[in-house]
Amino acid sequence: MGLDDLVNKAKDALHGHEDQAKDALDKAGDAVKSHTGDDTDRKVDEVVDKAKDYIDKGEA
């Protein structure tokens, strides 16, 4: 199984569960922020927002 196969499998698993994935991203971001300093909060939020945008565009 190659990388493309894994990516396609992940996309298939995500299809129809976009809201759950975005909720999981929020929870993961909060978990990271709880273990890092305040100086990283903005960067974590940016990464989470970009991941959500990626999902909303249907690229995932």
pLDDT of residue 59: 61
For the question of whether the overall pTM of this predicted structure is more than 0.75, the answer is yes
pLDDT tens string 18-55: 999 999 999 999 999 999 999 999 999 999 999 999 99
Closest CA to 21 of 11, 36, 31: 11
Q: Tokens standing for 5?
A: 């196969």
pLDDT of residue 58: 76
What is the total count of domains within the chain? Answer: 1
Question: If you ran DSSP here, which 8-state letter would residue 36 be given?
Answer: S
Q: Tokens standing for 21?
A: 């994935």
Domain that holds residue 13: 3-56
- Of residues 12 and 43, more confidently modeled: 43
pLDDT of residue 60: 58
